[in-house]
């Protein structure tokens, strides 16, 4: 009997291995584990066996039943997986059909640039502040050592607001630089100061490929005890390294702005010619990026600070120029055209 | 300013190549914008002398000059009429690069047979060398030109194009730049030696000068030269002026310009005989005074200007332009030469008011020193005697009411270190300053020095000015690079900045493209926003000097520019467009700067998604725009309600005001069809606007955490039939008023069969949930009955039955 069970098991398991369809599985199950199967018959006939044999055969028959059921489960599992694999093999779509398009929103390239600049300065401890775009002559010029009839006013042709005081003065203007916020900050916030001031500025200038009457600037202002020109250089070099890259050469030279002394200008090596000289850099090899300098003692005084105690530095940079250089944009008017064919490229 | 390298070399020995010198000047503050090389292409062109001129055997108009180059002689064919034996000319060998007289392009000279005679080489015209447009005659060089040497060595030059900063009028001169070069290179200066004989009688017996307005004229100097002959200037003088961009007029005017370029002091030459009464008065114009200037234009003068007047009225607008009356003409024989100093602001004002910018104006308005007058006057007088045969009267007129002594400035090593962050020794400091002509005297301690600026410098007032001088001469490259080491200042970020960041990132997440438009617009554009024309109230802020009519007013809203942007983009875009701008609008306030709130404005039009093979996308509608607003406000944690409003730019039946805490902070709606037409937009446009500055107070803070529900929810769908006038909001408010209701979603709105006319069906999915227990169907049934009862009682709603 035991031998019969053993033969039954090996026959059933052998048949199981050759099965590869779910229908065959079912007939195999009926044949070996069904109510009319030989195994069931043996199990039912246990009662007819002598006691000592019954125990051995019973145990053996149940083991065989468990093994067959186990084999069936495994086979079923294997068959299911085979089937899944086969159906996955068969299913095909045209993967070259276009995907379902989601509407994409983008930030304006100038906003992107401003975020990048501000985050670089924020990492050096600068706080972002803003100020009014329509401004008094006092904050834009007078308090920055640019009195009326100063030649520096000619380099910042001004749009004036149609507003006259009782004395006939016309003191309201569209700010020509974000430096206009410097005095406001000094007046309201005691040092130490470490701020950047992004925003729109305006000039009385005809539009062409390199000029627009409105553009963006970002100014910086640091005031504390012991601020030096070496700190100014370090701050600007760090900005240049992170914005323009490690290998870009930087030039730091003497320049003049009425609200700083000593004054400086920073330029980077021309990206187009690599410093050899080309049309973009006006054959100098350098592209001017920003003006800077040590805050003039009179400007500190105008802001209510004592130049005997405090020193400071300031810098100002045109923002529009940076994406122009980075992306090779040939017409600065495109920034304010709202043309989607332009804006979608960034 | 343009300065020829060779002119500079007259005053200073320069061992650096021009490009290196340019770099040094640029680094030290005087930017060299460009270097123009004259004669850079003059290879194979040498100086020769005509030793014979024979006629061409086959052509009357051509001749055969023989040119001696010292070691060799060449006979060429030439068509110029001015060939004279003994003249020095520029001889070009075959292979030289010359400008073709007809095509104006550079071409290589080839041997040519002209009327049977072979010509190898040629005598050049000025045009062929690129010096001028003269192609009719060959260029004749001065008799002292050395034979055989390259023309480039003799005539070639490099022109420095300098961008002089407004604080350095002394650098608007060749001598000024020579001083800079001396300081930067350590070479010594050799300035022109000026001396001449003076004749009797003395000048003060022939003319007197009175300054009526000493605030506008600190100093007035003059010399008198009689017996002058007005002619053309010598060639070298004409060419020098030309190289600097100044046209030659006659010898006298050219000398005044030459000395202005040389010393930086503008000069003016009057015809002495045209100054009536032998008297000059420097005064403000009388009310309504007018005069005819050199250019023949009658100028009306105002009281803030300054005139030079003779016995019979103004003869010049001081420092700006001379009068036609006293102009130097070919008949002039006596010159009154003026070298004066004028108030910079007054000159700047006058130059701008009369639109007469000039080289003289540019120097005066930057504040040149009064001490410059005498050296320049002497130099010009000397040149007039040399080049115009004049005799100078003895002495000068020198009226100097504005003489001020300048105090020396104390500079310490410590102060230099404090500002620059680098230790320069007293020795280095003194060396740098001395090289620029500063006078340094030892101070009270060994680390201090008392510094006096040289007379030509007008920009030195305090220690920081000296520090800049020191560091620009030692070199900005010697400033170390350090990072800020002070403790970080306390940060007080402005909350509006964070809100703006959040909002723009949300908007791009919803598929909106950011645009930035000009803050300036026109009444015409703003009027397009009005379906019925009427004056704008309040009137937007106007510019006093707009560039163009379409940029005359500061925008009072963003929508005007966004609609223009949409309209412009529609010319090439047929898909859905979603634009937004976040920026300031400018709202006038009496006697103050305008209010500048930060506003968000978005517009949508066209399909909600791009056209796809998976089916046509529905166009956006009012509810898309409203959805953007609701989603944004929900992201910002703001509770808002949308209420009826009347914005004339929007469709009267499809607009809502965004109300937060009883105040309207914005609007959402469909554009009024008439407004759309005014912007040439032919499709429905939806727009929303939110005043972020006003919204800000409601966005700060945070919401508290809500525990995740532990007990299951039960969901019920109900379909109601209500009068068509009943709003969703009313139904929603009633359903939400029951405590077990946790969420209500409207999922269908239907009118038409079988819903009776005048009615509509609203279908809601209501989620019931308790934070405390598992709800039973029975409990939910109970609440649902109460809801229906209240809806029926309050709104006359009935349950829609299937039939």
- Tell which wins on pLDDT, A178 or B445: A178
Domain residues for B689? 495-699
A155 touches chain B (CB under 8 A): yes
Enumerate the domain spans of chain A.
2-90, 109-343
Say whether pLDDT at B802 is over 60. no
Find chain A residues with C-beta within 8 A of B420's C-beta: 228-230, 262
CATH of the domain at B413: 3.30.56.10
A139-155 pLDDT, tens per residue?
A: 999 999 999 999 888 88
Nearest to A297 among B346, B422, B462 (CB): B462
* Together in a domain, B263 and B321: yes
Residues B231 and B313 in one domain: yes
Interface contact flag, B31 A256, Cβ < 8 Å: no
Residue A257 to residue A293: CA distance in whole angstroms: 8
Is the pLDDT at B611 greater than 80, yes or no?
no
Together in a domain, B352 and B340: yes
B791 plus B719 within the same structural domain = yes
Q: Can you give the pLDDT at residue B803?
A: 43
Q: What value does the mean pLDDT take over residues B415-439?
A: 96
- Nearest by CB to residue B420, choosing from A97, A98, A228, is A228
CA distance B101 to A271: 39
| Residue B24 clears pLDDT 70, i.e. is over it | yes
B376 in any annotated domain: yes
Per 3-state DSSP, what percentage of chain B is helix, strand, and coil (rounded to 5)?
30, 30, 40
Q: Is residue B483 part of a domain?
A: no
Instruction: Indicate whether B151 and B166 sit together in one domain.
Output: no
- Chain B residues whose CB is inside 8 A of the A103 CB are 510-511, 576, 578, 608-610
The answer, for A279 touching chain B at a CB cutoff of 8 Å, is no
Q: Does A310 touch chain B (CB under 8 A)?
A: no
Q: Which residue of chain B has the CA closest to A137?
A: B593
Closest residue in A to B495 (Cα) is: A129
> Cα distance from B670 to chain A (closest Cα, Å)?
21
A255 → closest Cβ in B165, B465, B614: B165
Of the residues B699, B727, B757, the one at which a domain ends: B699
Q: What span, in angstroms and rounded, lies between the C-alpha atoms of B12 and B176? A: 11
Q: Which residues in chain A have their CB less than 8 angstroms from residue B468's CB? A: 254, 261-263
Please report, to the nearest 10 degrees, the dihedral formed by the alpha carbons of residues B313, B315, B317, B323 taken in order. 130
Look up residue A295 and give its two tokens.
Answer: 């805050």
Asked if residue B707 belongs to a domain, the reply is no
Cβ A338 vs Cβ A98: under 8 Å = no
* Rounded Cα gap, residues B286 and B297, in angstroms: 19
Using an 8 Å CB-CB cutoff, list chain B residues near A237.
481
Is pLDDT above 60 for A251? yes
Query: Of chain A residues 92-121, which have a CB less than 8 A from chain B?
Result: 97-98, 100-108, 110-111
Chain-chain contact of A134 with B34 (C-beta, under 8 angstroms) = no
Q: Which two tokens stand for residue B517?
A: 């438009």
Q: Is B170 within 8 Å of B264 (Cβ atoms)?
A: yes
Q: Is the domain of B470 the same as that of B518? A: no
Domain A109-343: CATH superfamily is: Bira Bifunctional Protein; Domain 2 (3.30.930.10)
Q: With bands split at pLDDT 50, 70 and 90, how would you rate the model's confidence at A276?
A: confident
Q: Are B389 and B197 in contact (CB under 8 A)?
A: no
Please report whether residue B748 resides in a domain: yes
Asked if residue B791 and residue B775 are part of one domain, the reply reads yes
Identify the band that residue A4 occupies on the pLDDT scale cut at 50, 70 and 90: confident
Show residues of chain A in contact with B512, CB under 8 Å: 105
pLDDT of residue B252: 97
Rounded CA-CA distance B96/B684 in Å is 71
Q: Report the residue of chain B nearest A256, measured CA to CA.
A: B165
What are the chain B neighbours of A194 within 8 Å (beta carbons)? 484, 488-489
Nearest to B421 among A97, A229, A337 (CB): A229
Q: Round the average pLDDT of chain A to a whole number and report it.
A: 93
The 10s digit of each residue's pLDDT in B103-162 is: 888 889 988 888 888 887 899 998 888 887 888 889 988 888 899 999 988 888 999 999
Q: Residue A314: pLDDT above 50?
A: yes
pLDDT at B597: 98
B451-455 mean pLDDT: 97
Q: Minimal Cα distance from A104: which residue of B?
A: B511
Per-residue b or e along A120-156, where b marks 16 or more CB atoms closer than 10 Å to that residue's CB: bbeebbbbbbbbbbbbbbebbbbbbbbeebbbbbbeb
Nearest residue of B to residue A202, measured between CA atoms: B519
Q: Looking at the structure, do residues B126 and B259 belong to the same domain, yes or no?
A: no
Which residue of chain A is at minimal alpha-carbon distance from B478?
A230
Question: Any idea which residue has 């004259």 for tokens?
Answer: B38
CA distance A85 to chain B (A): 28
In a domain, B654, yes or no: yes
> B558 and B691 in one domain?
yes
Mean pLDDT, residues A309-332 = 95
Please name which of B423, B425, B457, B429 lies closest in space to residue B441, comparing C-alpha atoms: B429
Within a 10 A sphere around the Cβ of B771, how many other Cβ atoms? Answer: 11
Closest CB to B519 among A108, A133, A337: A133
User: Given A233, A283, A343, which is nearest B481 (Cβ)?
Assistant: A233
Q: Are residues B469 and B534 in the same domain?
A: no
CB contact under 8 A, B511 and A150: no
Average pLDDT over residues B52-70: 89
Q: Kindly tell me the burial class for residue B216, based on how many C-beta atoms sit within 10 Å of its own C-beta (0-12, 13-18, 19 or more).
A: buried
Query: Is B141 in the same domain as B9?
Result: no
Residue A341 has what pLDDT? 96
| pLDDT tens by residue, B205-256 | 999 999 999 999 999 999 999 999 999 999 889 989 988 989 999 999 999 9
Any domain includes B706: no
* CB spacing of A147 vs B509 below 8 angstroms: no
Domains held by chain B: number: 6
Inter-CA distances, A33 with A20, A69, B332, Å? 18, 8, 137
Contact B27 A254 (CB under 8 A): yes
- pLDDT of B677-697, one tens digit each? 999 999 999 999 999 999 999
CATH for B82: 2.40.50.140
Within a domain: residue B17? yes
Q: Does residue B443 fall inside a structural domain?
A: yes
The reply to whether residue B479 touches residue A229, judged by beta carbons under 8 angstroms, is yes
Q: Which of B144-158, B174-188, B412-426 is predicted least confidently?
A: B144-158
């Amino acid at each position: 009997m035991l031998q019969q069970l053993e033969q039954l098991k090996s026959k059933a398991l052998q048949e199981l291995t050759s099965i590869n369809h779910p229908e065959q599985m079912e007939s195999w199950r009926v044949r070996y584990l069904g109510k009319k199967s030989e195994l069931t018959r043996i199990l039912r006939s246990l009662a007819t066996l002598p006691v000592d044999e019954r125990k051995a055969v019973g145990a053996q028959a149940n083991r065989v039943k468990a093994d067959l059921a186990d084999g069936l489960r495994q086979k079923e599992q294997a068959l299911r997986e085979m089937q899944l694999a086969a159906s996955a093999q068969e299913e095909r779509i045209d993967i070259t059909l276009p995907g379902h398009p989601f509407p994409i929103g983008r930030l304006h390239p100038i906003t992107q640039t401003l975020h990048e600049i501000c985050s670089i300065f924020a990492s050096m401890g600068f706080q972002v502040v803003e100020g009014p775009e329509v401004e008094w002559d006092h904050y834009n010029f007078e308090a920055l050592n640019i009195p009326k009839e100063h030649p520096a006013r000619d380099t910042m042709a001004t749009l004036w607001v149609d507003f006259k005081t009782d004395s006939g003065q016309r003191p309201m203007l569209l700010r020509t630089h974000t430096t206009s916020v410097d005095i406001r900050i000094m007046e309201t916030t005691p040092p130490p100061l470490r701020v950047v001031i992004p925003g729109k500025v305006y000039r009385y200038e005809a539009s062409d490929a390199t000029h627009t009457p409105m553009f963006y600037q970002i100014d910086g202002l640091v005031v504390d005890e012991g601020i030096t020109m070496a700190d100014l250089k370090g701050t600007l070099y760090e900005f240049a390294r992170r914005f323009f890259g490690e290998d870009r050469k930087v030039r730091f030279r003497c320049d003049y702005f009425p609200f700083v002394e000593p004054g400086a200008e920073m330029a980077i090596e021309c990206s187009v010619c690599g410093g050899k000289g080309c049309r973009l850099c006006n054959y100098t090899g350098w592209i001017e990026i920003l003006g800077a300098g040590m805050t003039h003692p009179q400007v500190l005084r105008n802001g209510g600070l004592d130049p005997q105690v405090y020193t400071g530095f300031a810098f100002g940079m045109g923002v529009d120029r940076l994406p122009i250089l980075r992306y090779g944009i040939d017409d600065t008017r495109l920034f304010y055209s709202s043309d989607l064919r332009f804006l979608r490229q960034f | 300013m343009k300065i020829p390298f060779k002119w500079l070399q007259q005053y200073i020995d320069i061992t650096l190549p021009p490009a290196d010198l340019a770099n040094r000047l640029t680094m030290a503050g005087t930017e060299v914008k460009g270097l123009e090389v004259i004669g850079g292409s003059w290879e194979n062109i040498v100086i020769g002398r005509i030793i014979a001129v024979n006629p061409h055997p086959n052509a009357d108009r051509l001749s055969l000059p023989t040119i001696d180059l010292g070691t060799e002689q060449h006979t060429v064919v030439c068509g110029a009429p001015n060939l004279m034996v003994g003249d020095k000319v520029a001889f070009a060998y075959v292979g030289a690069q010359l400008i073709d007289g007809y095509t104006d392009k550079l071409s290589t000279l080839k041997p040519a047979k002209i009327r049977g005679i072979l010509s190898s080489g040629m005598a050049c015209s000025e045009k062929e060398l690129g010096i001028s447009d003269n192609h009719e005659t060959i260029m004749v060089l001065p008799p002292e030109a050395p034979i055989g040497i390259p023309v480039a060595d003799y005539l070639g030059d490099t022109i420095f194009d300098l961008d002089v900063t407004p604080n350095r009028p002394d650098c608007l001169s060749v001598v000024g730049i020579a001083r800079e070069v001396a300081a930067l290179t350590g070479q010594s200066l050799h300035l022109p030696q000026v001396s001449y004989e003076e004749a009797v009688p003395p000048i003060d017996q022939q003319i007197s000068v009175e300054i009526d307005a000493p605030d506008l004229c600190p100093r007035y100097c003059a010399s008198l030269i009689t017996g002058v002959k007005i002619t053309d200037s010598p060639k070298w003088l004409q060419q020098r002026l030309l190289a600097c961009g100044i046209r030659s007029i006659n010898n006298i005017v050219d000398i005044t310009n030459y000395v202005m370029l040389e010393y930086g002091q503008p000069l003016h030459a009057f015809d002495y005989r045209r100054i009536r009464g032998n008297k000059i008065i420097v005064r403000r114009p009388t009310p309504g005074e007018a005069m005819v200037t050199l250019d023949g234009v009658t100028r009306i003068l105002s009281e803030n200007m300054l005139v030079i007047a003779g016995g019979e009225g103004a003869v010049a607008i001081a420092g700006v332009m001379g009068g036609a009356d006293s102009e130097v003409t070919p008949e002039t024989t006596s010159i009154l030469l003026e070298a004066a100093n004028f108030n910079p602001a007054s000159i700047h004002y006058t130059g701008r008011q009369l639109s007469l910018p000039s080289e003289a104006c540019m120097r005066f308005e930057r504040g040149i020193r009064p001490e410059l007058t005498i050296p320049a006057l002497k130099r010009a007088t000397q040149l007039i005697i040399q080049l115009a045969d004049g005799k100078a009267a003895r002495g000068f007129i020198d009226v100097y009411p504005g003489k001020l002594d300048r105090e020396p400035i104390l500079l310490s090593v410590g102060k230099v270190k404090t500002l620059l962050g680098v230790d320069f020794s007293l020795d280095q400091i003194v060396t740098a300053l001395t090289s620029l002509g500063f006078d340094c005297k030892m101070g009270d301690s060994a680390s201090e020095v008392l510094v006096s600026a040289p007379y030509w410098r007008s920009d030195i007032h305090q220690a920081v000015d000296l520090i800049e001088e020191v560091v620009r001469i030692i070199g900005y490259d010697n400033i170390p690079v350090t990072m800020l080491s002070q403790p970080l200042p306390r940060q007080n970020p402005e909350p509006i900045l964070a809100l703006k960041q959040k909002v723009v990132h949300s908007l791009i997440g919803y598929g909106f493209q950011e645009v930035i438009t000009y803050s300036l617009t026109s009444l015409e554009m703003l009027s397009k926003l009005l379906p019925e024309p009427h004056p704008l109230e309040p009137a937007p802020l106007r510019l006093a000097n707009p560039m163009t009519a379409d940029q005359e007013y500061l925008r009072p809203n963003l929508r005007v520019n966004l609609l223009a942007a949409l309209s412009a983009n529609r010319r090439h875009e047929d898909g859905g467009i979603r634009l937004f701008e976040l920026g300031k609008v400018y709202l006038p306030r009496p006697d103050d700067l305008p209010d500048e709130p930060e506003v968000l404005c978005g517009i949508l039009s066209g399909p909600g998604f791009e056209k796809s093979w998976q089916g046509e996308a529905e166009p956006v509608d009012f509810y898309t725009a409203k959805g953007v607003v609701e989603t944004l406000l929900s992201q910002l944690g703001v509770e808002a309600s949308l209420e009826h409003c009347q914005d004339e730019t929007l469709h009267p039946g499809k607009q809502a005001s965004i109300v937060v805490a009883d105040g309207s902070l914005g609007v959402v709606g469909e554009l009024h069809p008439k407004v759309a037409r005014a912007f040439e937009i032919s499709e429905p446009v939806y727009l929303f606007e939110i005043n972020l500055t006003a919204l800000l107070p409601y966005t700060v803070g945070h919401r508290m955490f809500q525990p995740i529900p532990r007990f299951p929810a039960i969901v019920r769908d109900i379909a109601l039939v209500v009068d068509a006038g009943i709003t969703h909001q009313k139904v929603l408010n009633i359903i939400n008023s029951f405590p077990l209701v946790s969420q209500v979603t409207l999922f269908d709105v239907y009118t038409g069969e079988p819903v009776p006319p005048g009615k509509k069906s609203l279908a809601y999915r209501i989620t019931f949930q308790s934070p405390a227990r598992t709800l039973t169907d029975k409990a939910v049934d109970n609440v649902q009955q109460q809801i229906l009862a209240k809806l029926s009682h309050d709104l006359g709603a009935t349950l829609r039955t299937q039939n």
